[in-house]
Amino acid sequence: MRDSRHPDGTAVDVILPCLNEAAALPWVLSRLPEGYRAIVVDNGSTDDSAAVARAHGALVVAESRRGFGAAAHAGLVAATAPLVAFCDADASMDPRDLPLVVDPVRDGVAELALGRRRPTTAGAWPVHARVANRALALLLRRATGLALHDLGPMRAARREGMLGLHLSDRRSGYPLEAVLRASAAGWRVVEVDTPYAPRVGRSKVTGTLRGTMTAVSDMSRLLATR
């Protein structure tokens, strides 16, 4: 088990885009390593995600513009720590694993670290999502030359660096655009294995075929117009 404390005291802001994740948030927010602060970006949840997040000590940012990228970017703008990490709020990822992606950036080994999802159970990652992800990863490897196998939703970078990438996608292409721009900027991008468990609550993006198709079409457009 890696030590998650930061000897240099560097704080990390953890951005958690959130759309109706009230059932998952208590567990997620109880798992942040010491020195890590949660920023939950609520994107018009109709459940009590915002109140639950606040009750569990998170900074809650409201983003009225819908879309994963809109929420992720609002969290980045609200962050103040030199290091930022992104994590899903559906309990599919354990925030205790965040140092796996944060440490390479903090230690100066990489400018962007991505967590390659490694399913903990057969049901953690639906087949259609896995197939789509594999195809996108292949295109991504070809486009960038980076040895990546996943888009890595758990990730870390320096806040100033991320802002400097000037990402424009505000939908599900945001994570891909970040990798493309990071690569074009000559960033060292590393991939580390991170466990991936079944989400808590109802699936909304890649857990459904429609969600996967929207994500793939957003991402293919980015790869085509690069």
Paired residues of 39 in beta bridges: 15, 59
Question: Under the criterion CB under 6 A, does residue 136 sit at the interface with ligand GTP?
Answer: no
Min separation Cβ 2 and ligand GTP, Å:
24
State which residue has the least CB distance to Mg ion: 90
Q: In what order do the strands lie in the sheet with 155-158?
A: 59-62, 36-42, 12-18, 83-86, 155-158, 112-119, 189-196
Number of residues interacting with ligand GTP: please give it, by CB under 6 A: 20
Kindly tell me which residue out of 68, 199, 215, 222 binds Mg ion, with binding defined by CB under 5 A: 199
Binding mask 22-41 for ligand GTP (x = CB under 6 A): -------------------x
Kindly tell me which residue out of 29, 33, 67, 159 binds ligand GTP, with binding defined by CB under 6 A: 67
Min separation Cβ 8 and ligand GTP, Å:
29
Kindly tell me which residue out of 6, 117, 155, 199 binds ligand GTP, with binding defined by CB under 6 A: 199
Stretch that binds ligand GTP, among 133-141, 162-170, 175-183, 199-207 (CB under 6 A): 199-207
Binding mask 65-94 for Mg ion (x = CB under 5 A): -----------------------x-x-x--
**1 is written with which tokens?**
């088990």
Q: For ligand GTP, give the closer residue by CB, 72 or 111.
A: 72
Q: Give the binding site for ligand GTP (CB under 6 A).
A: 17-19, 21, 41, 43, 66-68, 71, 88-90, 92, 199, 203-207
Q: Give the binding site for Mg ion (CB under 5 A).
A: 88, 90, 92, 199
